[in-house]
Structure 1
Amino acid sequence: MGSNTQIQRTSHKIPGFDPYNDAHVLAVEKKISDEAGVGFKVSSFDPDTETVTFERIRTVTEVSSERGSTRLIATLRTDAKPSDGDREAARLEHANPGYTMTQYEPHLMRGVLEQLSEEVVRCRSAVANALSVKPWDVQVSERSGGGFDLRLPKSYMPSKHDEKLTEVAENVVGAPGWYVDVSPRALSAQIIPGQPPTFPEAIPYPFDEKIPDRATDRRAWAQLPMGQILPERADAASPRFALDLESGPHTAINGVSGAGKTVTISAAIFGALARGMQLAIVDLPSKKVDFLWAKKFCAPGFWGCDSLEASVTTMGLIYDEGQRRAEILERHGAVKASELPPSEQFPPIFVVVDELTGLLLPEEVPKISKEDPIRIEAEQINSDKARLKRFIKKTAAELRFVDTKLLLSTQVASQNTGITPDLRTNLQNKVLLGAKPTDGNRRLALNDPSMVPRIPENVANDKVARLGVGVFETEAEPGVFKSFYADFREYERRLTAMGVPTCDSPAPSKAQISQYTGGETFEDAGQQLPDDDPWNGRRVPKAASDRVYSEDGTELRGAAAAARAGRQSSA
């Protein structure tokens, strides 16, 4: 280490200068100091040329071979203040090309300059901006193995700054997959290169995991395995995504066609059945093929997929069963099912309602004669849909404490498609499937989209990794996940091997359909039909003698037919 004293001079022509007037001399020295830097004093005056020479003494200390670079310790201006850092940095760096001021110590009247690479300078500037401090408040050096070592200022706060530091690592000095490892107590950090996390082509369902015992660990038992969560880093383990049906019994699954709803819902169905829950499935007849593998595992009356009337009936049966269970709770003075004595416990009912929009969206009623069969049919459909919606909403709102668990699935969860706000608010768990959902779909499907991460581009653009991918929002946390996968035949085989109860005729009976929809059944007409009745309790064409027609020859049905028949019989 060595030091040397330098005398800096500057000369200026100052007409009328009076070296014997102290006030004049001080004024001239101040003016020159403002222009050329603090510390200049008059040293000589040539009256012939009216030239004044000013001098100041500066001391520069050099320290070499530290971190393989040269450091300079420069004396600051005598009046330098903490707020003058930008001015001093610009002055010193201009006077010492290739050096950057890395420390500013006005109380010691010195600044430290170092030779830094362009990458380090850029990283230092980005980190300082993220922490809202000056660049010299952050110390940055190149890290062995790539990336950067950081020394952080005392103002660093993990909750305030970690997300911003990650943005610097991923988007400024590195790439997706780079991460920040911070030691808050030591005020040190590393920006470390890495690869972005992703998913494999398929994640097998964890069939070999032991199911917790309901009696001894009800909360663990109620966790339905759904998939794996995308970890923060590629080298980290993937956490489990599970539906916690104890704290959040009702779930909404949204996603466009092909997003992986047959996959995700099937995993939930298997988990529920494997835990001894009763299964109910409600779906459009045209879509029921997706769950035919699970039909025989539905409880009696709980396969509501063969017709709209069957869907209404299944939900009606579930709601009434919930009322029966509520009466049991009341008799025992219990608030929820888990408080009942073991002898009075009943199995939870896991209700899957798929294609909710198709089931609830009203038909357009044509503005034609009230007796026209087309209008009558549309009105009847809407009446049944209104009944179905009422049962679903009341089940969601009233039956969570009697161990009824709803899983509602649709493509778009909006009020225009039948998903009203009062229904959405009773669905604690939200799942949105699909690699690239629109902002509109995120707003409709999630409670607070701003708190739910988006699917990273490396996953969304990977044709293999993005299969079965989505985001979730539960009462515990949000995240990105990929559904467990198994062939439906494997689900069916394993459930059979486990001895899960089956039912030969899980669809609602004709009498039950009549009870919940007010529709005519075959029994009402005194007809005996085979067991494989394709109408499943719905009305069948009447005999010719039973048909009723309007004056223009149009066949009438329902209330219009009854009114017409009454007028004819009284005529």
Structure 2
Amino acid sequence: MAETRPLRRIKLTRLFPEGINPDNPDDMMRLTRAIQEKAAKDPDKYGGYLIDSISDDGQYAIIAPMAMPTDDKTLQKLVTQGEARAEEIDVADSIGEARQKQTVDRIELNYASSTDPAIIHEAGKTWKVIDFIPRTSVKCAVMLQLMDERTISVRQQFADALGIARYPWQIRITPTAEGGWKIRIRSTTLTYRPSTHDRKLQETVESVGAPGWFFKGDADNGVITVYPGMLPTFPKVINPPQQMWDSADLHHGYFAMRLPDRGRETGDLLANNWQDAPGVLVAGASNGGKSVVINNLVYSALSAGCDIAVCDDADKSADFIWCRDWVIDHGWGCDSKESIAATLQHVLDICAHRANLIKQYGKMNYYGLPEDVRRENPVLLLVCDEIAQWASPLTVPPGLSKDNPTRIKMEYEKGINATNYMLLRLISQKARFAGICFLYASQSATAPNGLDPSVRTNLSSRIIVGAKVSDSVRDNVLNDAKSAPKVGEYLISSGVSVGTGVCELGGKEACVYKSFYVDDKAHGLEFSDILRQHLMQRRPPQGNGQAGHWDWGSIVRTVPAASEKPDDGSMYADDDEPVSRLEQEGGFGEDGRDVAERDAPLRGAARAAHMSAIEQAKLTAQLSAEKGM
């Protein structure tokens, strides 16, 4: 495909107010980064361009598409200087790689020993065949170039990377103004395929250059350009961009910056598309930045107009105090495991209501509903953190008597945890079509922590928090952990790895990221305080510091198993209903027997075991029904 794009000029006075030195590698590398940033913003105009020259006055850089045959101009200059020559041979000596190799060996040997005064010899340089060019039906020209040892070595290494180690003349290699290399592949002998060659090419680029060097390939024209560069990095802190404060919407749940591509200084903004990827998994150890990632996503969702419900371990729920004023009625599941179960059930009830609306309007999903209906039923984000604390399977220690308080408590909690897990699983399976998004977070995404494969499979966006993460965590979270990058050791050693991790968003290729963060220590403001300030300006809350609260009576009505709690819910301050004397003292039937004794409900360990068995039976029945058993 012929390159038709023109040469372009880039004004340099702003980038180099004191002038550019084309012989200074740092200046040329800085100019290369500027061109790559332009290409990222406008790929149609600047993609695949490289420096051709600097104007004589130093005011402009002339850039050219990599496929433009500027290397022919370089070759012509070498011919003029006597450092490139053509030898005429019979076409028969150029047909087939084996015959070409014989011809190359013969001609290069002849040139090495030639005494012809027209053939230049320089110390440290050797004549090498660089191309076969057909002239007529019977004659062919062999092009030779006087190469230094560095150029010969670089050409051979790239020939190895492209699988033509025995035939290096099939690529033409030319130094570039940036200090890199331009490689043109003979179209008649080799096809450059990125999927086949790129990994090996990048290894070669860093071998002939240094870590941070990179390349761009043009498969249509068989051209590869190698650029000097430095390893991409992050600032120590990345403040939330203006887009996050002002422009978050359902398709842009901003939370981080991607590690810049090689050659660039800034990375692309990362955002979850809640409509396409309503399920998000966040996994990472405590104090590793998990709350920062979650709060970025929560802010973006609330700023976009979503409703929110939160479930978290009571001891950790302070992480979400900043956004509690925006929590829906009966959406605060952070006071106890029972409030979590009630909140999850409430979300499923909302899902069922919306399913009826979708059926009523004859639509496929929530997003097909009329706008006024969706406005009355906003997208809902369910945030579930520290899942292992309240949805993981529990084992009651053996050997405890039936009235042992520990056994009573654990039998009960075993049932509540099983209920929470079942509800989590159902939400991940059913809620997405109803405009309900769900963010599940845990230190470890495994079945013993409440996140087995049947749940994880419905979480299409995966975010690992932490610079150093074990392979087992990567395997459980990422879809393709082997191909996914890792946070580089150089980022860790340079002190910029705080807030970094690896993510796959909506099935896209995995990448390294760094989450947004800002604080104002001078005014005593933490990140959550600043998020709240911005959200107050963009979307004043409807609730208050008690938004979403569940009273004990409402919990029991929503989750009947909670009525069997060993402390009978007395932990709730609003549980002030008097206990009936009849319940305390029993009554007498007509036959005179003690009805309370005759029909007494199960108590102690027997009662807890009974309720746990019921919940386990419900779960088993549910799972069996889903499997068609």
Deviation readout 1:91-123 (Å, 9 max, x if unpaired):
555562752532365985875544322321222
Residue 284 of structure 2 contacts residue 464 of structure 2 at CA under 8 Å; is this kept in 1? yes
CA distance in 2, matches of 1:84, 1:261: 63
Deviation at 1:211, TM superposition (A): 5.2
Q: Which residue of 2 aligns with 1:206?
A: 241
Q: Please show how residues 255-266 of structure 1 align to structure 2 within 5 Å.
A: 255-266=284-295
Q: Counterpart of 1:203 in 2: which secondary structure?
A: coil
Question: In structure 2, do the counterparts of structure 1 residues 87 and 466 end up closer, same or farther at CA, with 3 Å as the change threshold?
Answer: farther
Which piece of structure 1 moves more, 121-130 or 339-348?
A: 339-348
Deviation readout 1:470-505 (Å, 9 max, x if unpaired):
333423443222212241111122223331222343
Deviation readout 1:339-398 (Å, 9 max, x if unpaired):
223332201111111112222222231112334332222121111011001111111101
Equivalent residue for 1:320, pick from 324, 329, 349: 349
Equivalent residue for 1:351, pick from 374, 382, 392: 382
Equivalent residue for 1:376, pick from 408, 422, 447: 408
Q: Which residue of 1 aligns with 2:468?
A: 436
Q: Which residue of 2 aligns with 1:467?
A: 499
The answer to whether the aligner puts 1:503 opposite 2:503 as a matched pair is no
Q: Please show how residues 71-90 of structure 1 align to structure 2 within 5 Å.
A: 71=84, 82-86=97-101, 89-90=104-105
TM-score after normalising by structure 2: 0.68
Deviation readout 1:292-328 (Å, 9 max, x if unpaired):
2222322222111121111111111111121122122
Q: Counterpart of 2:378 in 1: which secondary structure?
A: coil
Q: Counterpart of 1:520 in 2: which secondary structure?
A: helix
The answer to whether the aligner puts 1:491 opposite 2:531 as a matched pair is yes
The answer to whether the aligner puts 1:242 opposite 2:271 as a matched pair is yes
What percentage of aligned pairs have identical amino acids?
Answer: 23
CA distance in 1, matches of 2:324, 2:373: 27
Rg: which structure is higher? 1
AA paired with 2:532?
E
The answer to whether the aligner puts 1:159 opposite 2:204 as a matched pair is no
Q: Which residue of 2 aligns with 1:60?
A: none
Residue 201 of structure 1 contacts residue 464 of structure 1 at CA under 8 Å; is this kept in 2? yes
Equivalent residue for 2:604, pick from 553, 557, 560: 557
CA distance in 1, matches of 2:407, 2:128: 82
Q: Which residue of 1 aligns with 2:439?
A: 407
Which piece of structure 1 moves more, 240-249 or 486-495?
A: 486-495
Question: In structure 2, do the counterparts of structure 1 residues 86 and 376 end up closer, same or farther at CA, with 3 Å as the change threshold?
Answer: farther
Q: Which residue of 1 aligns with 2:129?
A: 102
Deviation at 1:427, TM superposition (A): 0.9
Question: In structure 2, do the counterparts of structure 1 residues 67 and 383 end up closer, same or farther at CA, with 3 Å as the change threshold?
Answer: farther
Deviation at 1:252, TM superposition (A): 0.5
CA distance in 1, matches of 2:608, 2:172: 88
Question: In structure 2, do the counterparts of structure 1 residues 204 and 109 end up closer, same or farther at CA, with 3 Å as the change threshold?
Answer: closer
Which piece of structure 1 moves more, 144-153 or 263-272?
A: 144-153
Question: In structure 2, do the counterparts of structure 1 residues 175 and 457 end up closer, same or farther at CA, with 3 Å as the change threshold?
Answer: farther
Specify which structure has the higher proportion of strand: 1
Equivalent residue for 2:423, pick from 383, 387, 391: 391
Residue 127 of structure 1 contacts residue 165 of structure 1 at CA under 8 Å; is this kept in 2? no
CA distance in 1, matches of 2:344, 2:575: 16
Deviation readout 1:406-435 (Å, 9 max, x if unpaired):
000112212233211111111111111222
Residue 252 of structure 2 contacts residue 272 of structure 2 at CA under 8 Å; is this kept in 1? yes
TM-score after normalising by structure 1: 0.74
CA distance in 2, matches of 1:387, 1:416: 15
Which piece of structure 1 moves more, 242-251 or 123-132?
A: 123-132
Q: Which residue of 1 aligns with 2:228?
A: 193
Q: Which residue of 2 aligns with 1:224?
A: 253
Question: In structure 2, do the counterparts of structure 1 residues 456 and 471 end up closer, same or farther at CA, with 3 Å as the change threshold?
Answer: farther
Q: Which residue of 2 aligns with 1:300?
A: 329
Q: Which residue of 1 aligns with 2:619?
A: none
Q: Counterpart of 2:260 in 1: which secondary structure?
A: coil
Residue 178 of structure 1 contacts residue 196 of structure 1 at CA under 8 Å; is this kept in 2? yes
Deviation at 1:76, TM superposition (A): 8.0
CA distance in 2, matches of 1:314, 1:223: 26
CA distance in 1, matches of 2:286, 2:464: 12
Deviation at 1:331, TM superposition (A): 2.1
Deviation at 1:162, TM superposition (A): 5.7
Q: CA RMSD in A?
A: 3.7
Question: In structure 2, do the counterparts of structure 1 residues 499 and 140 end up closer, same or farther at CA, with 3 Å as the change threshold?
Answer: same
Deviation at 1:280, TM superposition (A): 1.1
Q: Counterpart of 1:327 in 2: which secondary structure?
A: helix
Residue 464 of structure 2 contacts residue 503 of structure 2 at CA under 8 Å; is this kept in 1? yes
Q: Which residue of 1 aligns with 2:282?
A: 253
CA distance in 1, matches of 2:214, 2:404: 68
Q: Which residue of 1 aligns with 2:57?
A: none
CA distance in 2, matches of 1:147, 1:353: 50
CA distance in 1, matches of 2:577, 2:272: 40
AA paired with 2:327?
C
Deviation readout 1:65-93 (Å, 9 max, x if unpaired):
63756456678899786314555555555
Equivalent residue for 2:304, pick from 275, 280, 286: 275
Q: Which residue of 2 aligns with 1:45?
A: none
The answer to whether the aligner puts 1:513 opposite 2:555 as a matched pair is yes
Q: Which residue of 1 aligns with 2:152?
A: 121
AA paired with 1:263?
V
CA distance in 1, matches of 2:403, 2:331: 34
CA distance in 2, matches of 1:83, 1:443: 47
Deviation at 1:469, TM superposition (A): 3.7
Q: Please show how residues 45-84 of structure 1 align to structure 2 within 5 Å.
A: 66=79, 70-71=83-84, 82-84=97-99
Residue 309 of structure 2 contacts residue 332 of structure 2 at CA under 8 Å; is this kept in 1? yes
Deviation readout 1:161-187 (Å, 9 max, x if unpaired):
562464145422112321223444543
Q: Counterpart of 1:172 in 2: which secondary structure?
A: helix
Question: In structure 2, do the counterparts of structure 1 residues 393 and 151 end up closer, same or farther at CA, with 3 Å as the change threshold?
Answer: same
Residue 165 of structure 1 contacts residue 180 of structure 1 at CA under 8 Å; is this kept in 2? no
CA distance in 2, matches of 1:411, 1:64: 63
Question: In structure 2, do the counterparts of structure 1 residues 376 and 194 end up closer, same or farther at CA, with 3 Å as the change threshold?
Answer: same
CA distance in 1, matches of 2:481, 2:216: 27
Q: Which residue of 1 aligns with 2:30?
A: none
Question: In structure 2, do the counterparts of structure 1 residues 263 and 64 end up closer, same or farther at CA, with 3 Å as the change threshold?
Answer: closer
Deviation at 1:140, TM superposition (A): 1.3
Deviation at 1:259, TM superposition (A): 2.5
Deviation readout 1:222-271 (Å, 9 max, x if unpaired):
32111222231343652221110111111111122233111110011111
Question: In structure 2, do the counterparts of structure 1 residues 101 and 108 end up closer, same or farther at CA, with 3 Å as the change threshold?
Answer: farther
Question: In structure 2, do the counterparts of structure 1 residues 462 and 557 end up closer, same or farther at CA, with 3 Å as the change threshold?
Answer: farther
CA distance in 2, matches of 1:490, 1:180: 41
Q: Counterpart of 1:377 in 2: which secondary structure?
A: helix
Deviation readout 1:18-42 (Å, 9 max, x if unpaired):
xxxxxxxxxxxxxxxxxxxxxxxxx
Residue 428 of structure 1 contacts residue 474 of structure 1 at CA under 8 Å; is this kept in 2? yes
Q: Which residue of 2 aligns with 1:172?
A: 207
Residue 281 of structure 2 contacts residue 439 of structure 2 at CA under 8 Å; is this kept in 1? yes
AA paired with 2:295?
S
AA paired with 1:101?
K
Which piece of structure 1 moves more, 279-288 or 449-458?
A: 449-458
